[in-house]
Chains A and B, each alone.
Chain A
Amino acid sequence: MKKILVGHWETAAFVIILIGAKAFLGYPRMVTDWGLTAGWLVVLFSGLLSIVFWLFIAGVLARFPGKPLTEITELTFGPFLGLGINIIVFLYLLFSTSNVLRLFSEASTLTVLTETPVNILALLYLLAAWLAAYYGIEAIFRCSYFSFPLISIGVVLVLLLLYPYFDLKMLFPLMGSGMGPVLMSSLWGTSAFSEVVLLTYLVRYFSFNPQRLKNVGVFSISYIMFFFIVIVMVYQMVLPYPTGSETLVPFYQLSRSIFLGHYFQRVEAFFVIFWTFTAFLQIATGLLVGAIILQDTFKLPFYRPLLPALTLLTFTTAFLPEDLIQAIKLEGEIRMVYGWIIAFILPIFVSLVALILRKGEDKVNGSQN
């Protein structure tokens, strides 16, 4: 089977879109809930913290060149415990993807197409995502690379067009809910950046060495952190604290407020294209990475046959919460608050154990690269 390799620019674009799709869902609102007027500060701190976590994880990857994290887990913990940990990670990814699917479908129903039933929209998203995952890694990575400048431009356009509503005073008082709560929520807030860890599961498909991988991760986290900060700042300037924590889909509400005169108003349907595109990509990558993790865990030769089953599983999991409020609670209070443990702490734990038990490759065979 021909080896598929992707380059570092595409990887960076991939991770950026993966993480960035949150900004279209509920992330600005959550951040405003935690940090009140200092939401952007929460984002800043969580970004920096995630960079620290990532550096540690990627540093350990360098000890096992060319091996994805699933294999490293197995090497470190042995077959049974390693399998268990990988399954936990897979379940977390499944949970996250189905949440995203549910929230995006609900958001689309609420905002764009009011009368289409949610399951039809979810089906639409899933089918397109299935096709994308079927085409493979190359297709999704290149698609993200191609579309990420366009999506950035769309987002920047929305933010700039809101200029008449900017009010810098709304960003004060600076500390928002106080230093303590801000720092605590930054810790949970790293779950927002947790998708960067998925890169470690795809190591086999990269055409660059782990040193580059570290740089790619740092670059993507900082890029998206910058974007998040700008989005959250604009969000807090236009829809300040008490009202800001009320909206369901913050970005959509922002684009609704654009009013530049009689002829350029109510253009939010145009910006819908951008975030639905991101939704497609996000769900496709969720499916793909889930399939790849399963493939690596169970040592299967191909991952494509797993896709139909995975699609069905995601669909049913997405509709487990009975209503939208439950889904939002799942995302905001459970996944955001505890997700970082599985996403970051677990790999760090794995790497610590690997360090302690001296299971590194380069200890044994220094020339292997």
Chain B
Amino acid sequence: MVPKIKGVLLLCLMIPLLLLIQGCWGSQETDETGYILLMGFDKGEKDILKVTYQMAIPHPVEGGEAEKATEIISVEAASIYGAQQLVSAFVSKRLTLAHNRGIIISEELAREGLSKYINPLVRSRDLRRTTFLMVVKGKAGDFIEKNKGLIFEKYPSRQIDIFMTFSDVTGFIYKSDIHSFYQGLKLPGQQAVTALVGVQKEKEDEDPKLEQKKPRSYEEKVKEEVAYLPGEIPRKGGNKIELIGLAVFKDDKLVGFLNGEETRYFQMLTGDFKKSIFSFPDPHEPESSLIVMEIKKRAHPKIKIKADEFKTVIEVDILLEGEILSIQSGRNYENGELRQELENYISTFISQEATHLIKKTQEEFTSDIFGFGEYTRGFFWTWYEWVNYAWLAQYPYCEVKVQTLFKIRRPGMMVKTAPTHKY
């Protein structure tokens, strides 16, 4: 027994010794590593690609002011990995994309076609497919630099996470990650979209030659409450960046934008919509008062595609339910006939807007971002037949019928409103 133990012990001793001679591979101490939190791609001025990194600077535990929590580096190179490598020439850390939370791509680059950038990102070991992907109206470098959070938000990764969770709460930002974008690029039944972000327009940026928009009526103002593209929200304060809207792609090129309002309807049609707050002009007083409803998704939209030789019809049933938040006119919309009227009004309103949106994608973008093509899978037995069907080419010529079924579930905290006295 004893010689056997000795032999085993010798073997066990030899291995660690051998390893010690070589050293341990791949062991990366935390003070040698630079953690990138946000990454942005621009078209380079001196080179092909300009990459902007926002690197985190860990702070000592004892405190001190959180002056500079991140360092923004930008470098120009031919490829993403080349840029990452070049940084080690002037930053004494080895960059890792493991904690990267978002990738921001500039409009210019997106219009040229994104598959040559997305393919390497998908292959990457560090980066995950759950990283958020955003297209910025303007330059990515600008976006990253101007992103200054509130006083306790040191790191933008958390910020972006929180912003993206708002897609469940407000609906006018879409939680797009590399995974969903990649599916949109490759699957023959849908097209890709990403969230749209931008930077608040400074007064200097406004082109004085641009004609003033014509003043909008009350109704229009109400209807277009959130219909902004990023950078256009009339506001002051807060972060300089804005996340609202959707970037529409056809194949891999950017073809257009959807504003906040349209993004909400887009999410309703794909089933990602959770809830949002809508304002409608009051059906009885469209010029002077409005109704605010919190609308939630009741169930997944029922999408049926009926195809025969001559035409294809897309039928969508959107199922929603709502809670009354504000009735400015004080009418008793909570009950009875008025309620029925309100429900019908809102249903028609939403159906119209949704149809409008679908037509816009058919005519202006010719891109099926909703993924209706996936519902035609069931018509075929084999994959090849389905690919031959080429839904995406047929999409612009389909007929669309959208129906909304909307029910008011709760009237809020009040059952009716007593009239204000007029003396």
Direct contact of A and B (CB under 8 A): yes
Which residues of chain A have a CB within 8 Å of any CB of chain B? Answer: 36-37, 110-111, 113-117, 120, 127, 165, 167, 169-170, 172-178, 240-243, 246, 253, 256-259, 262, 265-266
Contact residues of B: prevailing secondary structure: helix
Given contacts A172-B377, A173-B382, A256-B128, 11 further A-B contacts (CB under 8 A): A37-B383, A114-B125, A116-B26, A172-B378, A173-B381, A174-B381, A177-B384, A240-B187, A241-B383, A258-B130, A262-B158
CB neighbours of A243 from chain B (8 A): 182-183, 186-187
Residues 52-74 of chain B: 1 if any A CB is under 8 Å from the residue's CB, otherwise 0?
Answer: 00000000000000000000000
Tell me if B365 is interfacial: C-beta within 8 Å of chain A: no
Point out which of B15, B161, B177, B183 has the most chain A C-beta atoms below 10 A from its C-beta: B183
A-B contact pairs, 15 of them (CB 8 A): A36-B383, A113-B26, A115-B26, A173-B381, A173-B386, A176-B382, A178-B382, A240-B187, A242-B187, A253-B129, A256-B129, A256-B130, A258-B130, A262-B158, A266-B98
Verify B130–A127 contact, CB threshold 8 A: no
- B385 interface contact, C-beta 8 A: yes
Whole-angstrom distance between the Cβ of A113 and the nearest chain B Cβ? 5
Q: Which residues of B come within 8 Å of A, CB atoms? A: 15, 19, 22, 25-26, 98, 122, 125, 128-130, 158, 161, 177, 179, 182-183, 186-187, 374-375, 377-378, 380-386
Complex alpha-carbon distance, A256 and B381, angstroms: 32
Question: Which residue of chain B is the closest to A175 with respect to CB atoms?
Answer: B381
For A121, the closest partner residue in chain B by CB is: B25
Residues A262 and B161 in contact, CB atoms below 8 Å apart: yes
Closest CB-CB distance, B10 to chain A, in whole Å? 13
Set of chain B residues within 8 Å of A113, measured between Cβ atoms = 25-26
A37 to chain B, nearest CB (A): 6
The CA of A167 and the CA of B384, in the complex, are separated in Å by: 20
Q: How far is the CB of B309 from chain A (nearest CB, A)?
A: 20
Q: Which 6 A-B residue pairings sit nearest by Cβ, starting from the closest?
A: A115-B26, A172-B377, A259-B130, A115-B25, A116-B25, A175-B381
Shortest Cβ distance from A256 into B: residue:
B128
Measured between C-beta atoms, what is the minimum distance from B56 to chain A in Å?
A: 15
Q: Is the CB of A173 within 8 A of B186?
A: no
B residues in contact with A265, CB < 8 Å: 128, 130
B residues less than 8 Å from A258 (CB atoms): 130
A246 CB, nearest partner CB in chain B, Å: 8
With most chain B CB atoms within 10 A of its CB, the pick from A167, A172, A176, A241 is: A172
Complex CA distance for A357 and B383, rounded to whole angstroms: 48
CB distance from A248 to the nearest CB of B (A): 9
Find chain A residues with CB under 8 A from B385 CB: 173
Q: Which residue on chain B has the smallest CB distance to residue A113?
A: B26
Compute how far the CA of A197 lies from the CA of B177 in the bound complex, rounded to whole angstroms.
Answer: 45
Question: What residues on A are CB-neighbors of B158 within 8 Å?
Answer: 262
The smallest C-beta distance from B168 to any residue of chain A, in angstroms, reads 11
Which of chain A's residues have a CB closer than 8 A to the CB of B186? 242-243
Nearest CB in chain B: distance from A266 CB, A = 7
* B375: A residues at CB distance < 8 A: 169
Q: In the assembled complex, which residues on chain B have CB atoms less than 8 Å from the CB atom of A167?
A: 374
